[in-house]
Amino acid sequence: MQLKTDLRKWSVIAVMPILAACSSVSPGMHYAGITESASSTDEAPEGAIKPILKPITPQLLKAEKSLREKQATQDISKLLGQAKAYNIESGDVLSIVVWDHPELAGPAIAGAPAAAGMVMDPATQTAATQSAGFVVDQDGIIQFPYAGALKVAGLTQDQARNLVTKKLAHYIRNPKVTLRVQSYRSKRVYIDGEVKSPGLQPINDIPMTLMEALNRAGGMLPTADQSQIMINRSGTNYHINLPQLVQKGVNPSSIMLSSGDVVRVLSRDESKIFVSGEVTQPRALTMHNGRLSLNEALGESGGINPLSGDASQVYVIRKSATEPIVYRLDAKAPGALAMAEGFELQPKDVVYVAATPLTNWNRTISQILPGQLSGAVGAGAGYK
């Protein structure tokens, strides 16, 4: 019995120096040596990443807000405009009817099969319907009986009708002409991304605004990020943030699309925030239409773990163009939660909550001497 007691005594004495030596090599993320003045000009081991540490303060929140407003002010004036009448272009099919003169109708309308009462199959009838009318050729010209070659490209329907009427007036007294676009084939936009029915959408007499295009595509899916809508026009990308536009008093329906525009609605999964460390539920979070505060990220992750988390060491790691930036929040300080609510996260940010020194110490010993620490402590408790 005495020998067993002596072994327990010496096991406690042997473990104590190891515990003291391991306190400086505990696992986890450490930023104790980084100060706000640290920069890439300081000496650092070759290949090591030395981020800049910035404490989250009211002054920092003000500067970050000003920077966000400057970055969000992309000039989209070229996209704004008023609805205009549809202009006929090459490829469009026109339906032209001269009242009391059926002989001037399109070739399929005056065709023999219909006149003879013959029944056509659906495929033939569809093809005849599509060919009925006058196609605007690549030069923007149509050929119409008596009127000859008419340049209609760039004209509205009313202007084209007046042109046909003027030409026919030389041969027909007081011609009454009805002209409309039968098939819109010259202009189209492409809708892609998180919409119900992506694909080509033809531009017709209804003004093709951004909201009209999204509506024709079946609307945005629940996974769509309304703050991440990209419009590509002639090689230039325009970033559209719908909630922000509405907040600024800009009607999204004033964004007019042009032929050849590509509209892409990004997914919320492309703008994630990663929360790790000593939180109740480490996870990847999706932003809410481009917005997520540090307070919300911690809340959706279950908050800081009360058993192992160090509330004074809450970090936000952000990748910048040059070097990583680490923001630090002391959640124990008065007003810290208010500052956390005002700190806006950016896509791909990493929120990390460090462990307490005691937790790091315990984990280190558990890795070096698995199962021995509890035995040594138990021996020390029994040796009195």
The DSSP code sequence of 99-163 is: TT-GGGS-TTTT-HHHHTTPPPPHHHHHHHHHHSSEE--TTSEEEETTTEEEE-TT--HHHHHHH
Q: Residue 194 sits in a domain of what CATH number? A: 3.10.560.10
What distances in angstroms separate CA 73 from CA 65, 244, 275, 278, 337, one per listed residue?
A: 13, 10, 29, 37, 29
Last residue of a domain, one of 253, 269, 285: 269
Are residues 286 and 361 both part of a single domain?
yes
Are residues 133 and 144 both part of a single domain?
yes
CB atoms within 10 A of CB 30: 12
Full pLDDT tens readout for the chain, 384 residues: 554 445 444 444 444 455 444 444 455 555 544 444 444 445 555 556 677 889 999 999 999 888 877 765 677 888 988 888 999 999 999 999 999 888 887 654 433 344 334 344 444 444 444 446 899 999 999 999 988 999 999 999 999 999 999 999 999 999 999 999 999 999 999 999 999 999 999 999 999 999 999 999 999 999 999 999 999 999 999 999 998 888 888 888 999 999 999 999 999 988 899 999 999 999 999 998 889 999 999 999 999 999 999 999 999 999 877 788 999 999 998 888 889 999 999 999 999 999 998 888 888 888 887 765 555 555 554 444
Are residues 296 and 343 both part of a single domain?
yes
- Asked, for residue 237, whether it belongs to a domain, the answer is yes
* Cβ pair 89, 136 in contact under 8 A: yes
Are residues 18 and 99 both part of a single domain?
no
What SS3 class is residue 69?
helix
pTM given for the model? 0.69
Which residue type sits at 138? Q
Separation of alpha carbons 181 and 160, rounded Å: 10
Separation of alpha carbons 263 and 261, rounded Å: 6
Distance of CA 203 to the CA centre of its chain: 25
* Cβ pair 44, 50 in contact under 8 A: yes
Taking only the tens place, the pLDDT of each residue in 59-108 is 999 998 888 777 656 778 889 888 889 999 999 999 999 998 888 876 54
What distances in angstroms separate CA 290 from CA 80, 131, 239, 242, 263, one per listed residue?
A: 23, 48, 12, 10, 18
Are residues 321 and 358 both part of a single domain?
yes
Separate counts of helices (H) and strands (E) for the chain: 11, 16
Quote the pLDDT of residue 182: 93
Q: Residue 130 sits in a domain of what CATH number? A: 3.30.1950.10
Quote the pLDDT of residue 12: 45
Are residues 216 and 290 both part of a single domain?
no
Are residues 248 and 317 both part of a single domain?
no
- Asked, for residue 2, whether it belongs to a domain, the answer is no
Are residues 229 and 277 both part of a single domain?
no
Domain total of the chain: 3
Quote the pLDDT of residue 213: 96
Last residue of a domain, one of 160, 183, 206: 183
Are residues 162 and 175 both part of a single domain?
yes
Are residues 236 and 297 both part of a single domain?
no
- Asked, for residue 52, whether it belongs to a domain, the answer is yes
Taking only the tens place, the pLDDT of each residue in 179-236 is 999 999 999 999 999 999 999 999 999 999 999 999 999 999 999 999 999 999 999 9
Quote the pLDDT of residue 335: 85
- Asked, for residue 77, whether it belongs to a domain, the answer is no
- Asked, for residue 383, whether it belongs to a domain, the answer is no
Q: Which two tokens stand for residue 7?
A: 């072994």
- Asked, for residue 85, whether it belongs to a domain, the answer is no
Quote the pLDDT of residue 49: 63
Quote the pLDDT of residue 203: 95
Are residues 65 and 131 both part of a single domain?
no
Domain carrying residue 172: 93-183
Last residue of a domain, one of 183, 210, 241: 183
- Asked, for residue 297, whether it belongs to a domain, the answer is yes
- Asked, for residue 88, whether it belongs to a domain, the answer is no
Separation of alpha carbons 154 and 207, rounded Å: 16
Are residues 360 and 276 both part of a single domain?
yes
